[in-house]
A and B are shown apart, each in its own frame.
Chain A
C-alpha cells in the first residue's frame, strides 16, 4: 500500500494555501488553485478508500521516525470515507462560496483561509495522536475564526465574538484533557491509549482527562448545552462561508468524537458513563435544535438550528457504541453534509434571486424558479427523512441501531424530532416557495452558475445516495467496524512494547 497517499489530503491544501498567497492579486487564479486542491483532496479520499478496502487500514509515520516515536496518520475505512465526504463538499461548496463572495472579502485572503480550513479538517480526520488532534482542531478553528470575521460590520463582529469566545474555552478544555491524559499515561498516541483502555480500563484520572476531551469535542459538534455559539454566529458571514462551515466544521467535530470515544471510552466502565452522557445529550440536542428553529423566520437561522438538531442524531449514534451505530452515524453524517450544505446553497440562491433571507419577505419562488424549488424540496425532504432519499436511510439505520441496542427512549425522540424537522421545512416551503409573492416586489437578481451547479450537485447526491443506499452502506459498515474495533488502530499506531 502506498502510505504517502494519506499525506495528500494534507499536503495539497497546505501547498494551495501558500500558492494562493504567492499568486497575489489574481482572484481567478486563487479560485482555480483552491478548486484544484479540493478536487485533489476528493481524489485522494477515493484512492484511500479503495486502498483501505483492498488492503485494510494503514498508517504513515510522519517524518520517518521509528514506530512508537513517530506521529502517525491513520487511513482506515472510516477516515478514508470521511476524506471523500469532505472532498465532495469542498468540490461543490468552494465554487459556490467563490462565486457568491464579494470582491473585498475575496481580496482579503478568502482563498488561503479556505485551504487552511480544508487542511485542518483533513488533519482532524486522519490523525492518530491526541495532541495532534488538538493542533488540527486549532488549525481549523483559526481559519474559521478569520473567515467568520472577514469583512467586518457589526453583525459579523458580534457573531464572531461569540463564536471565538466559546470555541476558545473548548480548546482550553481540550488541552487540559490532553495534559491530564499525558500526565497519567505518559503517551498521547491514540493507539497506545486505546490499548491501555481495552486491556486494563482507564484509571479515573485518565478517564476524567478523556472526558474533558470529550466535552471539548461536544462543543465542536454543537451538542447541548454547548451549542449556543452556532446559531449565534452562522447566519452572520456571507452565505458561501456559512455553507462551507455547515458542511465541514461540526461534522469534523462529530467524527473526532466518534474516533476518540470509540478508541478510548468503549471499554469497561467508562463506556457506561460515556454512553449515558452521549445518549442523553444527543436526545436533548435534537429537540433543542429543532425547537429553536421553530421560532425563527430567517432561513439561515432556521437552518443553523437544524445543524444543531442533526448533530444530536450523530451524538446519539456515537452513544450507541456499536459497529452498526457507527455505520449508521457515518451514513447519516454524509447525508447531512450534502443535504445541509445544499439547503444553505438554496438559501443563498433565493437571496440572490429575491433579495431576502427572511421567509416572510419571500414568496412565489416555486412559480418563478421551479428548479430552485425542486432542488430545495429534495434537500429538505432528505433532511426530514423521506424515502427514497438518503436521509431516510440514515435515520432508519440510526433508529434501527438504537432499537437493536435497547435504547428505545432516545430512538423514539429521534423519530419525534423528524416530525418537527418536517414542520420547519414546511414552514420555509410554504412561506418562501408556495405563498403568492409579496406585493412589494423585492429585487429580481440572478444567481451565478457555480451556485446552481452546487445546489443541483447536492440535490443529486441526496437522491443517488438514497437510491444506492445498499452499496454505500457496504462502505459505511466497514467504516463502522473500523471505528468500533480498535484492534487494527492499536496495531498500526501503538508502540511495539506497551
Chain B
C-alpha cells in the first residue's frame, strides 16, 4: 500500500496541475479537485500507512507500544477534506456565475475587468 500511494499521489498532482493550466473553467475545477485529493492523500501517507493497529493503549500497559496508526494525519486530512470540499463547492458556484455573467468560460476571454473602461465588452 505504502509503495503504491506515492505514485497515485504523483499522478493526481500531475493531472491536477495539467488541468489547472487549461483555459476552460470546468477543467480548472476538475484540476482543482484532483489537486486537493492528491494533497489530502499526501498528508494521509505522511504518518505512514499502518493497517489494523488503532492508537489505543492496551490492557494494563501505560504507554502505546509497537507500530500504530498515527491519528494526527487523519485529523489533518479530516480538516483538509472539509476545507477542500467547501472551497470546491464555492468554486463551482463561482464558475457557474462567471459563465452566466460573462457569457464565457474561456479564461482567455475573462479580461473585461482588466481592460480600460473604453475597451470593455
Contact = CB atoms under 8 A, between A and B. Distances in A.
Q: Do A and B bind?
A: yes
Interface of A: 131, 135, 138, 141-142, 145-146, 149, 152-162, 164-165, 168-169, 171-172, 175-176, 178-180, 182-183, 232-233, 235-236, 297-298, 358
Contact of A159 (B32, B43, B91, B113): B113
B28 A179 contact: no
A183 B32 CA distance: 23
Nearest to B88: A168
Contact of A175 (B43, B47, B72, B114): B43
Contacts of B83: 135, 138, 142, 171
B112 A155 contact: yes
A160 B94 contact: yes
A182 B43 contact: yes
A182 B72 CA distance: 9
A158 B102 contact: yes
Contact of B98 (A131, A157, A176): A157
Contact of A165 (B28, B86, B112): B28
A165 B83 CA distance: 15
B46 A182 contact: yes
B18 interface: no
- Name the residue among B72, B87, B102, B113 with the largest chain A CB count within 10 angstroms: B113
A171 B79 CA distance: 13
Given A149-B94, A157-B94, A159-B113, A182 B79 contact: no
Interface in B1-49: 16, 20, 25, 28, 32, 35-36, 38-40, 42-43, 45-47
Q: Is the interface of B mostly helix, strand, loop or mixed?
A: helix
Contacts of A176: 39, 42
Interface in B32-87: 32, 35-36, 38-40, 42-43, 45-47, 72-73, 76, 79-80, 83, 86-87
Given A157-B98, A179-B39, A179-B46, A232 B114 contact: yes
- Name the residue among A149, A158, A232 with the largest chain B CB count within 10 angstroms: A158
Given A152-B101, A158-B102, A142 B87 contact: yes
Contacts of A169: 20, 35
A414 B38 CA distance: 40
Given A152-B97, A175-B80, A180-B46, A158 B113 contact: yes
A132 to B, nearest CB: 10
30 contacts: A131-B76, A145-B94, A153-B101, A154-B101, A155-B113, A156-B113, A157-B97, A157-B101, A158-B98, A158-B112, A158-B113, A158-B114, A159-B113, A160-B94, A161-B98, A161-B107, A164-B87, A164-B90, A164-B91, A169-B35, A171-B87, A172-B16, A172-B35, A175-B80, A179-B46, A179-B76, A182-B43, A232-B114, A236-B113, A298-B117
Contacts of A131: 76, 79
Nearest to B35: A172
Nearest to A358: B117
A135 B94 contact: no
Contacts of A180: 42, 46
A172 B39 contact: yes
Contacts of B42: 175-176, 179-180
A231 to B, nearest CB: 8
B108 to A, nearest CB: 12
B95 A161 contact: yes
